A and B are shown apart, each in its own frame.
Chain A
Amino acid sequence: MRLTDLTIIQTHEGLKKKEFSALELCEAYLDKIRTCSPCSQNLDSSLRLELKEKNINAFITITEDLAKEQARKIDEIISSDRNLSFLAGVPCAIKDNILIENFPCTAGSKILKNYISPYDATVVEKLKKQGAIILGKTNLDEFAMGASTENSAFGPTRNPHDLSRVPGGSSGGSAAAVAANLACYALGSDTGSSVRQPASFCGIVGLKPTYGAVSRYGLIAFASSLDQIGPITKTVGDCKIVFDAIRGKDEMDSTSVEISKIGNWKLEIENLRIGIPKEYFIQGIDSDVERIVREAVKKYEKAGAKIVEISLPHTEYALPCYYIIAPSEASANLARYDGIKYGYSTISDKKKEKDNLLDVYFQSREEGFGDEVRRRIMLGTYALSAGYYEAYYLRAQKVRTLIKEDFEKAFEKVDVIFTPVSPTPAFKLGEKIDDPLTMYLCDILTVAVNLAGLPAVSIPVGKIGKLPVGLQIIGGPFEEDKILAVGEMFEKI
């Protein structure tokens, strides 16, 4: 078994028993990344493009110096036989919309191509304190807007299971990196599906925590009432370790909350009530995806769980509701990229004719943002503009309440809810990129969870040919431990 195949728990054991050093481990990953991603700036551009087409292109930036420095520190701790935390010395990757001090943070956008993070995100600070080794920053759809990682200014990421297909998005770089063993685990962010759907497409585990469970300080904002940072890992056990390391209240994020840990969930499968919402098994779902998810449900039933058919009546309105709320918040959040304070700017471009401040805004934002980001800014601006605000934004906020109430009622009858993550397995590159609405429909089974602020995890439960299929396990607010315990059962039953 190669070092890069190990899980967090296995890596931790190996380091503790001195079977390999943290630096050796770190080098093994860096070597693997180098052969799989053409981000070396020394190559000429045509060669780089050729490599890009053959390779996964999971990373935008490699933080080699940071990784090696940390690895040496961990080796000192190991050689002096001091206590080693679970994540100490374990190499990880961070989505490139999460800040790491003194390294670029692009959000997959030309507008932030030369932006250097002035500070660490809280999650990064927490991982560094645990001794984590950060290998690099992973590719994403620009500002996390997309379901395929094709909307990146740095080229698309490819699915390690089939290079002609997308890894999902927007955390496609993080998911592809973990699936291809280019990192032991990764962080992503999830606004509508962006951790769960790529985890499903890449056959690994992805958790979207409850809104407020993890600090958003240092996460580049997309839609602030929906965004959450979450772990992407090889196993459910690993997911719990990373989640425990990053969770908790942070004074820099006033929406973060501290939840006292309710101990280990001693959940007996005989007492488990699993809700199956009929609205999530609708027309348009790939028949193989449905079959694999239903087989997973059967496995739980055989092992003793009670399966309850439930109804979440407002399910069909979740996607239109999301595509008002998310772009509205995005249009406000992205107003900060103005060509004045930081980021791409035409202000000192002598070739550009401009007399006043307004021209700098128009030009910098036209050239700096990609199509999908501009589309969503336009959509959000429209929904919030005078005359339309009540018909769109206000109505969507009310529908959001109804969606949340659906879940509250359901959780009176069941402990967890099972659904597919995505209506289809990974699709081909280019297949949906020219039709925005078709791409939006990818999120149809995942956005309600963000609107309701609930935790949900995607776990791999089967394959169609070589393409993985994920099961979504949804829990009540702050029941991450419960859904992870339920997910872990699948690995055992």
Chain B
Amino acid sequence: MISERDVKHIAKLARLGLTSTELEKFQKELSSILSYIEKLKEVDISRAEIVSHSVKVGNVTREDVARDKKEKIENKIIELMPETKGRYLKVKPIFQV
């Protein structure tokens, strides 16, 4: 069983707000899912390689130069921002003075 402290810690890492009733609910649900996942401990993985993708993928690089500027798209993206100042994204303070 995963502890209440752990659930609080994960929620904080994941930047998710939780109410106290939810805390209990998630504790129960995550515990039951995690105990199911424990099954993987039975597998002999000593000779298995690690894969992150099912197919072989390599890095795809290109020259570090700006591609065509798509002003139309840029404007649309700016319009989607919750708070702006001019063409800048506005955020709440990170450091308190």
A-B pair number, CB within 8 angstroms:
173
B52 close to chain A: CB less than 8 A: yes
0/1 interface trace, chain B 16-59, chain A, CB 8 Å (1 if under): 11100000001001101110111111110100111111110100
> Is A369's CB under 8 angstroms from B40's CB?
no
Q: With A320-B39, A357-B92 as given contacts, are A399 and B16 in contact (CB-CB < 8 Å)?
A: no
B85 → A minimal CB distance (Å): 13
> Is B43's CB under 8 angstroms from A394's CB?
no
> Is B82's CB under 8 angstroms from A342's CB?
yes
Q: For A257, what are the chain B residues with a Cβ–Cβ distance below 8 Å?
A: 55
0/1 interface trace, chain A 364-390, chain B, CB 8 Å (1 if under): 011101000011011101100100000
Q: With A360-B92, A382-B30 as given contacts, are A314 and B82 in contact (CB-CB < 8 Å)?
A: no
Q: Which of B45, B55, B79, B81 contacts A211 (CB 8 A)?
A: B55
0/1 interface trace, chain A 415-452, chain B, CB 8 Å (1 if under): 00000000000000000000011001000000000111
Q: With A397-B51, A399-B43 as given contacts, are A374 and B16 in contact (CB-CB < 8 Å)?
A: yes
B86 close to chain A: CB less than 8 A: no
The size class of the interface chain A forms with chain B is 35 or more
A119 to B53, CA, bound (A): 27
Which 4 A-B pairs give the minimum distances between C-beta atoms?
A453-B54, A366-B17, A118-B76, A345-B82
Q: For B42, what are the chain A residues with a Cβ–Cβ distance below 8 Å?
A: 317
A359 → B minimal CB distance (Å): 7
Interfacial residues, chain A to chain B (CB-CB below 8 A): 115-116, 118-119, 210-212, 225, 254-255, 257, 314, 316-317, 320-321, 323-324, 331, 335, 338-343, 345, 347-348, 354-363, 365-367, 369, 374-375, 377-379, 381-382, 385, 392, 394-402, 404, 436-437, 440, 450-454, 477
> Is B50's CB under 8 angstroms from A398's CB?
yes
A-B contact pairs, 10 of them (CB 8 A): A212-B55, A314-B43, A356-B93, A357-B93, A362-B17, A374-B26, A381-B10, A398-B43, A401-B51, A404-B54
B94 close to chain A: CB less than 8 A: yes
B2 → A minimal CB distance (Å): 8
Q: For A402, what are the chain B residues with a Cβ–Cβ distance below 8 Å?
A: 43, 45, 48
Q: Which of A118, A400, A453 contacts B80 (CB 8 A)?
A: A118
B67 → A minimal CB distance (Å): 10
> Is B76's CB under 8 angstroms from A324's CB?
no
B9 → A minimal CB distance (Å): 8
> Is A119's CB under 8 angstroms from B16's CB?
no
> Is A316's CB under 8 angstroms from B39's CB?
yes
> Is A394's CB under 8 angstroms from B50's CB?
yes
Closest to B82 in A: A345
> Is B30's CB under 8 angstroms from A375's CB?
yes
Q: For A323, what are the chain B residues with a Cβ–Cβ distance below 8 Å?
A: 33, 36-37
B89 → A minimal CB distance (Å): 7
> Is A116's CB under 8 angstroms from B80's CB?
yes
> Is A341's CB under 8 angstroms from B94's CB?
no
B13 close to chain A: CB less than 8 A: yes
> Is B33's CB under 8 angstroms from A377's CB?
no
Q: With A345-B82, A347-B83 as given contacts, are A365 and B54 in contact (CB-CB < 8 Å)?
A: no
> Is A225's CB under 8 angstroms from B82's CB?
no
Q: For chain B, residues 55 to 83, give those with C-beta under 8 angstroms from any C-beta of chain A.
A: 55, 57, 60, 73, 76-77, 79-83
